[in-house]
């Protein structure tokens, strides 16, 4: 991907998400290790990243920013205000800032960074750790079309990327950001049921993990039918699946799930407002 050639990338915070992105970028050959620099508060973490991926360790956050074209902000949301204030003066050359922190808004980034800072806000999810992530991105006011493409290329190293409006970010957070947990919750319930029916725990896990990943792969296959159609196809009248779906419908499981996801959206709104204060 030509757009990443010679682009110097700094990761401020080298935790799980930064590692997923770095591993993906190198695995896909999108950039070279000597184009990447990291910072982290934990010396052991810095050493681990340098040894594992041969990336450079910057002396400080400011040095990392001053010597990079793209700065990935990969610390926890609570630490972002302090970090941005720290690096502000090192950003006079206007690198592109890409934030992956949940709830950190474009306006927060823009008001804390120098005027006309080019910022992109992202919402990734944990399957990024194995290159199967879903990331939504939106651009700040000064970010260019080229910046969006660059951000997409970087984030594509961890999975699929979509562009959204910032107003959609809380909904995206509720659906794909928190989404993996809903799938795990379903898996937990299926494993509990399997064990209650007398299957041993190992067999229960094998059946459930393969079934859920198989169903996801089927829904994701080229030209796959809609999930609702796929469900109807396995639900024969009077059959076992129909009995399960009828039991779920009797308990309004679908409505409860929708209510739960709306609660996640509401919490995303609240958290963003708290971080803004």
By CB under 6 A, residue 124 contacts ligand NAP: yes
Query: Using CA atoms, how far apart are residues 244 and 144, in angstroms rounded to an integer?
Result: 50
By CB under 6 A, residue 27 contacts ligand NAP: no
Query: Using CA atoms, how far apart are residues 11 and 238, in angstroms rounded to an integer?
Result: 56
Min dist. Cβ of residue 108 to ligand NAP (A): 12
By CB under 6 A, residue 112 contacts ligand NAP: no
By CB under 6 A, residue 131 contacts ligand NAP: no
By CB under 6 A, residue 133 contacts ligand NAP: no
Whole-angstrom CA distances from 143 to 71, 98, 150, 181, 274 are 13, 10, 11, 32, 25
Residue from 36, 70, 75, 155 binding ligand NAP (CB under 6 A): 75
By CB under 6 A, residue 125 contacts ligand NAP: yes
By CB under 6 A, residue 24 contacts ligand NAP: no
By CB under 6 A, residue 110 contacts ligand NAP: no
By CB under 6 A, residue 179 contacts ligand NAP: no
Query: Using CA atoms, how far apart are residues 259 and 265, in angstroms rounded to an integer?
Result: 10
Burial label, 124 (beta-carbon count in 10 A; 0-12, 13-18, 19+): buried
By CB under 6 A, residue 56 contacts ligand NAP: no
Q: Which is nearer to ligand NAP, 45 or 269 (CB)?
A: 45
Does residue 71 contact residue 8 with C-beta atoms inside 8 Å? Answer: no
Q: Which is nearer to ligand NAP, 77 or 140 (CB)?
A: 77
Query: Using CA atoms, how far apart are residues 129 and 186, in angstroms rounded to an integer?
Result: 21
Strands 56-57 and 96-99: unpaired
What is the 8-class DSSP label of residue 143? -
Angle at 238 between CA 235 and CA 239, to 5 degrees: 50
Only segment of 69-77, 196-204, 205-213, 269-277 that touches ligand NAP (CB under 6 A): 69-77
- Tell me which residue has its CB nearest to ligand NAP: 15
Q: Which is nearer to ligand NAP, 75 or 208 (CB)?
A: 75
Using CB under 6 A, list all residues that contact ligand NAP.
12-18, 39-42, 45, 61, 74-77, 79, 83, 100-102, 124-126, 177
């Amino acid at each position: 991907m030509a757009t990443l050639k010679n682009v110097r990338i700094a990761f401020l915070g080298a935790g799980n998400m930064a590692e997923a992105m770095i591993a993906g970028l190198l695995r896909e050959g999108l950039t070279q290790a000597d184009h990447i620099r990291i910072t982290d508060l934990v010396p052991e973490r810095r050493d681990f990243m340098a040894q594992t991926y041969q990336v450079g360790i910057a002396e400080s956050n400011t040095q990392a920013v001053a010597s990079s074209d793209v700065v990935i902000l990969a610390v926890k949301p609570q630490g972002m205000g302090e970090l941005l204030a720290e690096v502000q003066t090192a950003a006079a050359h206007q690198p592109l800032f890409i934030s992956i922190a949940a709830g950190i808004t474009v306006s927060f980034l823009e008001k804390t960074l120098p005027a006309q800072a080019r910022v992109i806000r992202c919402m990734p999810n944990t399957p990024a750790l194995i290159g199967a992530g879903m990331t939504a991105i939106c651009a700040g006011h000064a970010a260019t079309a080229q910046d969006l493409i660059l951000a997409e290329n970087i984030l594509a190293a961890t999975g699929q990327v979509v562009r959204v409006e910032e107003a959609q970010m809380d909904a995206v957070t509720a659906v794909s950001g928190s989404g993996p947990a809903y799938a795990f919750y379903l898996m937990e319930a299926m494993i509990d049921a399997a064990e209650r029916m007398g299957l041993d725990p190992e067999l229960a896990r094998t059946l459930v993990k393969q079934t859920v990943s198989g169903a996801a792969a089927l829904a994701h296959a080229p030209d796959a039918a809609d999930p609702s159609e796929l469900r109807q196809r396995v639900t024969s009248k009077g059959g076992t699946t129909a009995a399960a779906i009828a039991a779920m419908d009797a308990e309004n499981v679908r409505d409860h799930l929708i209510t739960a996801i709306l609660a996640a959206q509401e919490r995303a709104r609240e958290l963003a407002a708290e971080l803004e204060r």
